Structure 1
Amino acid sequence: MVSNQDLSEGRTGWNLFVPGGSKDAGCKWDILPGQGKDGAAALSMSSSSDARYAALSSKAAVEAGKVYRFSVQVKAEPGSEKVARSAGVLARMTFFSKDGKDLGSEHVHFARGGRAALASSINQTYSDSLPTEWEEIAGVFTAPAEAATVQVALFCWSTKGTVLWSGVQLEPAATGTAPTPLLQAAASRPPAASLSTGTTTPPPADVPAMTELPAWAASHPRIVWDAATLERTRLRIRDHPEVAAMWRNLEALCSSYCDPSQGKFLKPEDAFQDFLALQGGSHENRAKLEVALRRWLTPLDLLSFAYVVGGREEFGKKAVELAVATAARITPDKMENGFFYTRTFPTRSLALAYDWCFPLFSPGQRETLRDAIAKHASVLYLGSLNGVWGQSTLGRIWNWNVGTASAWGLAALALDGESNYPTRQWLFQAARNVEDYLRYAIDPAGGIVEGPVYFGYGGGYLPYFVEGLKRRTGEDLYLATNYHKVTGWLPFEILPGGGRVNNIMDSGFRISTGDVLIYALHRDNDRPLARWLWEGIFWRDGRFVSENQSLPAAILWAPESMDREKVAQRESSLPLSGWADSRGLVASRTGYGGDDALFTVHAQQYTDFKHDQADKGQFTFYAYGDDLVIDSGYGNDSSREKSTSGFAHNQVLIDGQPELQGGAHSRTDGWITGALFTPVVDLALADIADAYRYAYKSNFKDATYEKDFRQAVERATRQTLFVRTPVPYVVIFDEVRKDDSPHEYGWMLHAKSGREFQVNGNDVAVKPVSTPPLLVATQPWDGTGSADPSRPDGGWTGTLQVPSAGRYVVWGLTGTDNPDGNKSDSFFLRLNGGKLGYTSGKDPSRFAWTTFNKQPLTWVPLNDGDVKTGALDVPAGPLKVEVGVREPGAWFAGLALLPEGKLPADDNSLPAGAVSLKASEGEVRGAMKLVTLPTREARAWLQVSVLAPNRFENRVDAFQTTREGTHPRLTLLMRDSTARFLSVLIPHRAEDAKLPVQRVDAARGSVGVIKASGGEDLVGCWDGTGISTSEVETDAEFLWLRRDGAGRVTALAATNASYLKVAGASVFTTSSGPQSIAVSAGQAVTSGDSSLVRFDLPDLQVASMKQPAAWMARREINISR
Structure 2
Amino acid sequence: MSGTRWSQLLWGILPLVGVLSLQTAPIYGYYSDSAEHPRLLCTAAELDAVRARLHSGYEQIAYQRLLEKCDAYLDPESPHYVNWPERTNLIRHQGGEVNYWETRPGAWMLTKRYEELAWAGVLSGEQKYIEGARNIVMTIVRERVIDGIGGDNYGQPYDGWLAQPLDAGHSSRALAVFYDLLYDHLSEQERQEVRDYIVHTYLAYLYPYMQETLDRADYPAILGHNMHLIGNAAGGLLALAVYGETGLPTEQEDAWVELFFDGVHKGLQIGLGVDGAGLEGPGYASASLYYGSFLIEAMRRAGGPDVLSGPPNPIQRTPYYYLYEMRPNGEYFNNINDAHFDAHTVFLPLFASAIDDPALTWLWDTVEGHRHDGQNVFGDTWMTWVADLPYVLLWRGLAPSAVSPDDLQFPLSRQFTRRGLVSMRSSWQEDGVLFSFLSGGQPDRGHSQFDANHFALYAGESTLAFDTGYGAGETKDHNSLLFDGQGQTVRCTEGRITAYEPGEIATYACGSAGDLYGNPTLRLFDRHVYFVRGGHGPYAVIYDEVEADGEPHSYTWLLNMSDAARLELDGEYPLVVDESTGWEMHVTLFAAADLEYAQIVNEFRRSRIAAVSTNRQLQAELTTAEAPAFLALLYPRRDDGVLPRVERINAHAVRVQWPEYTDLVAFGPTQTAEASTDGVGFVRTPSPGAN
Q: Name the TM-score class by shorter chain.
A: 0.7 to 0.9
Name the CA distance, whole Å, in 2 between partners of 1:560 and 1:368: 35
TM-score (normalised: structure 1) = 0.52
Matched residue, 2:202: 376
Query: Where does 1:72-471 land on structure 2 (aligned, <5 Å)?
Result: 219-238=36-55, 240-271=56-87, 274=90, 289-327=103-141, 328-331=143-146, 334=149, 336-337=159-160, 340-374=165-199, 375-387=201-213, 392-419=219-246, 422-471=252-301
The equivalences for 1:1020-1059 within 5 A come to: 1020-1021=666-667, 1027=670, 1036=679, 1038-1045=680-687
CA contact (8 A) 2:223 2:229 kept: yes
- Contact 1:397 1:441 survives alignment (8 Å): yes
Deviation at 1:591, TM superposition (A): 0.8
Where does 1:810-849 land on structure 2 (aligned, <5 Å)? none
Q: Which runs of 5+ in 2 are unaligned?
A: 1-28, 151-158, 382-386, 607-611
The one-letter code sitting in structure 2 at the alignment partner of 1:365 is E
1:625 aligns with 2:480: no
CA distance in 1, matches of 2:416, 2:666: 28
Residue 689 of structure 1: aligned partner:
514
Q: 1:582 to 1:270 in 2, by over 3 A?
A: farther
Instruction: Give the aligned residue type for 1:220.
Output: H
**Residue type at the aligned position of 1:496:** P
Q: Does 1:755 align with 2:565?
A: yes
- Check conservation: 2:346, 2:388, Cα contact below 8 A: yes
Superposition deviation, residue 652 in structure 1: 0.8
Which has more helix, going by share of residues? Answer: 2
Q: Secondary structure of 1:412's match? A: helix
Return the alpha-carbon distance in structure 2 between the equivalents of residues 1018 and 760 of structure 1.
28
CA contact (8 A) 2:352 2:400 kept: no
1:496 matched to 2:316: no
SS, match of residue 558 in structure 1 = helix
**Contact 2:380 2:389 (8 Å CA) reproduced:** yes
- 1:504 is displaced (CA, Å) by 1.1
Larger Rg: 1
Aligned positions of 1:719-868 closer than 5 A: 719-726=528-535, 727-759=537-569, 763-768=573-578
Q: What secondary structure sits across from 2:149 in the alignment?
A: helix
| Alpha-carbon offset, residue 970 of structure 1 | 1.1
2:445 to 606, 609, 628: 609
Letter in 1 for 2:52: L
Give the C-alpha shift of residue 522 in structure 1.
3.1
Secondary structure in structure 2 of the residue aligned to 1:222: coil
Specify whether residues 743 and 559 from structure 1 end up closer, same or farther in structure 2 by C-alpha distance, changes over 3 A only.
farther
Residues 953 and 973, structure 1, Cα contact 8 Å, conserved in 2:
yes
CA displacement 1:156-197 (0-9 Å, x = unmatched) = xxxxxxxxxxxxxxxxxxxxxxxxxxxxxxxxxxxxxxxxxx
How many Å separate the matches in 2 of 1:493 and 1:578? 10
**How much has 1:630 moved relative to structure 2?**
1.0
Tell me the residue number matched to 2:21: none
1:380 maps to a residue whose letter is: L
Q: Residue type matched to 1:609 in 2?
A: R
Q: Quick one: percent identity of the two aligned structures?
A: 24
- Match runs of 1:911-926 below 5 Å: none
Q: Please state how far the C-alpha of 1:411 moved relative to its aligned partner.
A: 1.2
Q: Shift of the alpha carbon at 1:569?
A: 7.8
Query: Which residue is 2:654 aligned to?
Result: 1008
Could you tell me which of 949, 969, 973 is aligned with 2:621?
973
CA contact (8 A) 1:670 1:691 kept: no
Q: Is the 8 A contact 2:593 2:628 kept in 1?
A: no
Report if aligned partners of 2:337, 2:447 keep a CA contact under 8 Å in 1. yes
**Which amino acid in structure 2 is aligned with residue 675 of structure 1?**
Y
Question: Which has the larger displacement, 589-598 or 486-495?
Answer: 486-495
CA distance in 2 between counterparts of 1:759 and 1:443 reads 41
Give me the whole-angstrom Cα distance separating, in 2, the residues matched to 1:607 and 1:568: 31
User: Are positions 1:960 and 2:603 aligned together?
Assistant: yes
**How far has the Cα of 1:273 moved from its partner?**
5.9
Offset, 1:559: 4.3
CA deviation after TM superposition for structure 1 residue 334, in Å: 3.4
Partner of 1:550: 388
Match of residue 476, structure 2, among 647, 655, 672:
647
Judge conservation of contact 1:217–1:417 (CA < 8 Å) in 2: no
> What is the SS of the residue equivalent to 1:567?
coil
**What's the offset of the Cα at 1:352?**
1.9
1:667/1:1043 CA distance change after superposition, 3 Å: closer
Query: What CA distance in whole angstroms lies between the structure 2 residues aligned with 1:213 and 1:555?
Result: 26
Q: Structure 1 residues 235, 647: closer, same or farther in 2, change over 3 A?
A: same
Q: Which residue of 2 aligns with 1:839?
A: none
Asked whether the 8 Å contact 2:349–2:361 carries over to 1, the reply is: no
1:645–1:402 distance in 2 versus 1, CA, 3 Å? same
- The answer to whether the Cα contact below 8 Å between 2:272 and 2:285 also exists between their aligned partners in 1 is no
CA-CA distance at 1:763 after TM superposition: 1.8
- The alpha carbon displacement at 1:746 in A equals 0.8
* Range moving further from structure 2, 978-987 or 352-361: 352-361
| Per-residue Cα deviation, 1:38-69 (whole angstroms, up to 9, x for no partner) | xxxxxxxxxxxxxxxxxxxxxxxxxxxxxxxx
Q: 1: distance between equivalents of 2:140 and 2:160?
A: 17
Alignment of 1:551-570 (within 5 A): 551-559=389-397, 567=403
Answering whether residue 368 of structure 2 is matched by residue 522 of structure 1, we say no
Work out the CA distance in 1 between the residues paired with 2:380 and 2:419: 25
Provide the aligned length of Structure 1 versus Structure 2.
628
Change (3 A) 1:269 1:334: same
- The reply on whether 1:671 has 2:502 as its aligned counterpart is no
CA contact (8 A) 1:659 1:692 kept: yes
Q: Residues 405 and 433 of structure 1 are in contact (CA less than 8 Å); yes or no, is this contact kept in structure 2?
A: yes
Decide whether the 8 Å contact of 2:276 with 2:320 is kept in 1. yes
Flag the structure with more relative contact order, 1 or 2, with Cα contacts below 8 A and sequence separation at least 6. 2
Deviations 1:181-220 (CA, angstroms, capped at 9, x unpaired): xxxxxxxxxxxxxxxxxxxxxxxxxxxxxxx998689643
What does residue 524 of structure 2 align with? 715
1:262 counterpart SS class: coil
Q: CA deviation at 1:256?
A: 2.0
Change (3 A) 1:468 1:1031: closer
Residue 767 of structure 1: CA displacement? 2.5
State the secondary structure of the residue aligned to 2:350: helix
* Stretch of structure 1 that moved more, 979-988 or 462-471: 462-471
* RMSD between superposed Cα atoms in Å: 3.4
Partner of 2:433: 597
Change (3 A) 1:617 1:444: same
* Counterpart residue identity of residue 71, structure 2: S
Q: Distance in 2 between matches of 1:278 and 1:1010?
A: 52
Aligned-pair distance for 1:250? 0.9
Offset from partner CA, 1:292-321 (integer Å, 9 cap, x none):
432221111111222233332221111111
- Flag the 1:646–1:289 CA change in 2: closer, same or farther, 3 A: farther
Structure 1 residue 651, shift from structure 2 partner: 0.8
Quote the Cα distance in structure 2 between the aligned partners of 1:750 and 1:278. Answer: 29
With the length of structure 2 as denominator, give the TM-score of the two structures: 0.82
Deviations, residues 870-910 of structure 1 (Å, cap 9, x unaligned): xxxxxxxxxxxxxxxxxxxxxxxxxxxxxxxxxxxxxxxxx
Q: Are residue 995 (structure 1) and residue 673 (structure 2) matched?
A: no
What is residue 30 of structure 1 aligned with on the other side?
Answer: none
Kindly tell me: are residues 1006 and 580 of structure 1, through their superposed partners in 2, closer, same or farther at Cα, counting changes over 3 Å?
Answer: closer
Choose the corresponding residue for 1:585, options 421, 431, 443.
421
Q: What letter matches 1:972 in structure 2? A: A
Deviations 1:958-996 (A, max 9, x none): 112435943211111122343321111111215346432
